[in-house]
Amino acid sequence: MVAPEAQRQERNLFERTILGLTKARVYDASDQGRLTGLDVRLIEAIKSQLTDEGLLTAEGRVTDKGDEVLHTAAYEQERLVTGYVFQDPYTGTLWDRFVEEPRFANVEINGHNRTLVRGATGRPFRTRAFAQHHPQQLPPPPGPEDVCRAIRRCQRSLDRIQSLVEESRSSASELLDIQDDWGGEEPGLVEDGLGATVTRVTFLDAKAVPCYLATCLYSRSPIPLPSTLLATDPFLPGASDRLMRQILDTAHERRDSPLAVVLNGILERTHGAGLDEFRAQVEALRLQAEHRVEERLGFDNRDLAAFGPLVGMERAFLEAEALGDAGHDKERDAIASARDVLEAQFRSVASASRLRGIERHVDLPPRERTPQRIQSVLERAATSVGLQVPLPTHLTGLQKLTTAYGRLRSVSLDHSRLARAGIRDLFEVCLLAAVGHPDHPLACAAAIDGAFAERLFALADIVNAAKHGDCPSDATPEGVRLEVYGLLEMMLGRATNGSEGLA
Contact by Cβ (8 Å): 373, 366: no
- Distance, CA of 447 to CA of 323 (rounded, Å): 40
User: Does residue 181 carry a pLDDT above 70?
Assistant: no
- Distance, CA of 436 to CA of 278 (rounded, Å): 53
- Distance, CA of 267 to CA of 448 (rounded, Å): 50
Task: Map residue 332 onto helix, strand or coil.
Answer: helix
Q: Check residues 8 and 62 and name the one with the higher pLDDT.
A: 62
User: Does residue 185 carry a pLDDT above 50?
Assistant: no
User: Does residue 206 carry a pLDDT above 70?
Assistant: no
Contact by Cβ (8 Å): 53, 34: no
Task: Map residue 353 onto helix, strand or coil.
Answer: coil
Q: Which DSSP symbol is given to 55? A: S
Provide mean pLDDT across the span 381-392.
91
Q: Identify which of 502, 488, 163 has the alpha carbon closest to the alpha carbon of residue 335.
A: 502
Q: Residues 12, 411, 153, 11: what is their CA dihedral angle, to the nearest 10 degrees?
A: 0
Q: Which DSSP symbol is given to 2? A: E
Provide mean pLDDT across the span 387-411.
77
- Distance, CA of 372 to CA of 383 (rounded, Å): 16
Contact by Cβ (8 Å): 344, 364: no
Lowest average pLDDT, out of 221-235, 244-258, 287-301, 467-481, goes to 221-235
Count of residues in the chain: 503
Task: Spell out the domains of the chain, with CATH numbers in brackets.
Answer: 2-81 (1.10.10), 83-273 (no CATH), 339-491 (no CATH)
Dihedrals phi, psi of 151, to nearest 5 degrees: -65, -40
- Distance, CA of 270 to CA of 274 (rounded, Å): 10
pLDDT in tens, 280-317: 877 888 899 999 999 888 877 788 889 989 998 998 88
Contact by Cβ (8 Å): 459, 332: no
Strands of 49-105 (E only): list them: 74-82, 84-87, 94-99
CB atoms within 10 A of CB 26: 15
- For 73, left (φ over 0), alpha (ψ -120 to 50), or beta? left
Q: Check residues 404 and 152 and name the one with the higher pLDDT.
A: 152
